[in-house]
Chains A and B, each alone.
Chain A
Amino acid sequence: MIKDFLRTLVQNRKSLTGLILLGTLIFVALAAPLLAPYPPKSDRIERTVLVEETMGDPEVISEEYPDKDVEKSVYSVTATKTWEKTVTYFPLRSRPAKEHLLGTNHAGNDLFSQLIMGTRISVFVGLATGLFVTLVSLTLALLAGYLGGVLDDIINFFTNVFLVIPGLPLMIVIGTYIPMHGVLPIILILAFTSWPYPTRVLRSQVLTLKNRDFIRASTMMGERTFFVIFREILPNMISIVMSEFFTVSLSAILAEATLEFIGVGNITVVSWGTILYWAQANGAILMGAWWWFLPPGLLIALTGTAFVLVNFGIDEISNPRLRKR
């Protein structure tokens, strides 16, 4: 099953491209500190060189002779080191150049380094939210759809309530009220506002599958409820589950950027969103500093493209007819 899954993904040219793109992004996110030429928040390079090191004479503090063959002494040596420190300040708002591939921002931070470090936060927030929301909504959908009854009524009620609450304003309201430390609050806010839609979509899929003949047949054959859910129903909805995962992940990346951009998020974090926030706050568009605001946007679009391409392959898994033979 899993082997089949991976083979299908690699054999499809579109999903292979998507996987490579996604893999690159994840690699950049993981290896960000190694790849970034400068620390993302510094505006200078400090280089300290040891110029000279001199040793003073030992100064005896005490001497003891506990035995006739033993001599014990305490002494200190003072070393004198001479350092030379060179501080090179980065230019402010510089254009792309050899030292700064994407120029620098208003505070002199290297934008290329920020972009790489920002990948880490943005991709992590996106995938973590996607995974979290998918797991929650899939569980709710399977429970509500397959087991039905009162449980379905309860889950459906809350889904409906949350569906009518507009997401972005709710995010902003929650975002302004809770203290922002790190990215966990952002992930929680995004998850909290984005679970109802996939729950609704997945539940309806479970409902249609539940009444298909082959699911009825397998329950009649005496297969256990959990077996039916995970072996018979789930593989049939992999593609819709994954497309929900990608949709949620992408919209989480966008929403995270949105929150950062309007200043609700934690602006001390370096992410694609905060780069855009500072670009906007410092009139990057007015100055025509495309190297400042364009790359984060392009990367968001690239992530979306990668997700869509991978999904082409996943479609083939849940619909064997699409597989090439």
Chain B
Amino acid sequence: MAEKTLLHIDHLKAGYATKAGFVRAVDDVSFSLRRGEFLGIAGESGCGKSTLAYAIMRLLRDNAAIESGRIVFDGTDIAGLDERAMNGYRWTKMAMVFQSAMNALNPVLSIEEQLVDAVLAHRDVSKKEARGTAAEMLELVDINADRLSSFPHQLSGGMRQRIMIAMALLLRPDLLIMDEPTTALDVVVQRSILQKIQELRTKLGFSVIFITHDLSLLVEISDSLAIMYAGKICEYGPSRELYAAPEHPYTKGLMSSFPTLTGPITRMGGIEGQAPGLINPPPGCRFTPRCSSAIPLCSKREPALVPTSAGRLCACRLCGGML
């Protein structure tokens, strides 16, 4: 834990202004990320994972906005920076692989043109140097440099995804945010991409925030894990420990929602009901309506995210969140 903190999120609130009211998709989220750490954020659809990612990148647009809180990146609070100053961070210091990365390539431009464009948008270098950077980065993600002249439709989904990763890493950022980068790919390709990311991380030393709804994927690769439910982090901790002994009922539910490959086949638990709407979230603990261990107090008081054991946090009365 002696390593330097790269990113510290402090009581971040963000959401969307709609006609029906303000949807607070990220509600009072705090965590820190060390340099070189791999943080996984998991949760079901609509729990605010992507909003959190976009908020960190300061890419919330239109009706979305950061309400309050601090995003301290490398010692600077970037939550209040203006667009111009933010451009100095975005892509150069923090980059993102988008959710639909496979469609994030322009169909009429060759891979080379797109990579070179990305370099030239931020670095004052010659076209030749930019081309060199692009080729180098492509080799890093195991794509032959002669693919530079290809158009996106000539590449497979996995290759396109790796190109998007190359594009995110072009400027050697300190932080790479990946928003469900492997959802559209089959498991074999998913695995090879994850291995690639791990390999690059050890080679280049960047931190990763990996967002997915596929918990099994995360457990294997991430250092620490944050479980989000209805805009809040409900459990946080080192992944192996969290996987071995989940404390929050929601995490337990999630863990029982996917089958083990090696153990005996049993009926899967799953979680009853649906995630609550975030315009009027349920009072008290937001998981109360679906929680099997809920007591009347749960819908009255909101549990705090409290430390349970070394490096672990949990927000539930069972972990002492209401004491």
| A interface residues with partner B (beta carbon < 8 Å) | 212-218, 220-224, 227, 231-232, 235-236, 238, 317-321
Contact B121 A217 (CB under 8 A): no
Choose among A213, A223, A231 the residue with the greatest number of B CB atoms under 10 Å from its CB.
Answer: A213
Against A, the Cβ 8 Å flags (1 = close, 0 = not) of B240-272 are 000000000000000000000000000000000
Stretch at the interface among B21-29, B40-48, B96-104, B188-196: B96-104
B58 to A, closest residue via Cβ: A220
Given contacts A236-B107, A236-B108, contact A213 B122 (CB under 8 A): no
In the complex, whether B35 has a CB less than 8 A from a CB of chain A is: no
Contact A213 B103 (CB under 8 A): yes
Contact B87 A222 (CB under 8 A): yes
Given contacts A221-B118, A222-B121, A321-B153, contact A236 B106 (CB under 8 A): yes
Instruction: Write 26 A-B pairs (CB below 8 A) sorted by A numbering.
Output: A213-B100, A213-B103, A214-B105, A217-B98, A217-B104, A218-B106, A218-B117, A220-B59, A220-B98, A221-B91, A221-B118, A222-B87, A222-B90, A222-B122, A223-B117, A223-B118, A224-B121, A231-B109, A235-B106, A235-B108, A235-B109, A236-B107, A238-B108, A318-B108, A320-B107, A320-B153
Q: Whole-angstrom distance from the CB of A226 to the nearest CB of chain B?
A: 12
- B91 proximity list for chain A (CB < 8 A): 221-222
CB contact list, B35-74 vs A, under 8 A:
57, 59
Q: Whole-angstrom distance from the CB of B304 to the nearest CB of chain A?
A: 34
- A222 proximity list for chain B (CB < 8 A): 87, 90-91, 121-122
- B59 proximity list for chain A (CB < 8 A): 220
Choose among B90, B100, B108 the residue with the greatest number of A CB atoms under 10 Å from its CB.
Answer: B108
- A215 proximity list for chain B (CB < 8 A): 106
Q: Whole-angstrom distance from the CB of B163 to the nearest CB of chain A?
A: 12
Q: Which listed residue, B104, B118, B121, B153, touches A213 by the CB 8 Å rule?
A: B104
B103 to A, closest residue via Cβ: A213
Bound together, the chains give a CA A302 to CA B196 distance in angstroms of 57
Q: Which listed residue, A220, A224, A231, A232, touches B96 by the CB 8 Å rule?
A: A220
Bound together, the chains give a CA A317 to CA B107 distance in angstroms of 11
CB contact list, B164-202 vs A, under 8 A:
167
CB contact list, B76-114 vs A, under 8 A:
87, 90-91, 96, 98, 100, 103-109
Bound together, the chains give a CA A217 to CA B105 distance in angstroms of 8
Bound together, the chains give a CA A238 to CA B107 distance in angstroms of 13
Q: Whole-angstrom distance from the CB of A61 to the nearest CB of chain B?
A: 78
B168 to A, closest residue via Cβ: A221
The 9 closest A-B pairs by CB, nearest first: A217-B104, A213-B103, A320-B151, A235-B108, A214-B106, A223-B121, A213-B104, A213-B100, A222-B87
A239 to B, closest residue via Cβ: B108
Q: Whole-angstrom distance from the CB of B131 to the nearest CB of chain A?
A: 15
Contact A212 B121 (CB under 8 A): no
Contact A221 B121 (CB under 8 A): yes
Choose among A214, A221, A317 the residue with the greatest number of B CB atoms under 10 Å from its CB.
Answer: A221
- A217 proximity list for chain B (CB < 8 A): 98, 104
Bound together, the chains give a CA A232 to CA B109 distance in angstroms of 8
Contact A232 B106 (CB under 8 A): yes
Bound together, the chains give a CA A220 to CA B59 distance in angstroms of 7
- B106 proximity list for chain A (CB < 8 A): 214-215, 218, 232, 235-236
- A214 proximity list for chain B (CB < 8 A): 103-107
B57 to A, closest residue via Cβ: A220
Choose among A223, A227, A317 the residue with the greatest number of B CB atoms under 10 Å from its CB.
Answer: A223
A237 to B, closest residue via Cβ: B108
CB contact list, B113-135 vs A, under 8 A:
117-118, 121-122
Q: Which listed residue, B90, B108, B117, B122, touches A320 by the CB 8 Å rule?
A: B108
Contact A212 B117 (CB under 8 A): no
Q: Whole-angstrom distance from the CB of A28 to the nearest CB of chain B?
A: 34
Q: Whole-angstrom distance from the CB of B105 to the nearest CB of chain A?
A: 6
- B103 proximity list for chain A (CB < 8 A): 212-214
Bound together, the chains give a CA A321 to CA B155 distance in angstroms of 12
A213 to B, closest residue via Cβ: B103
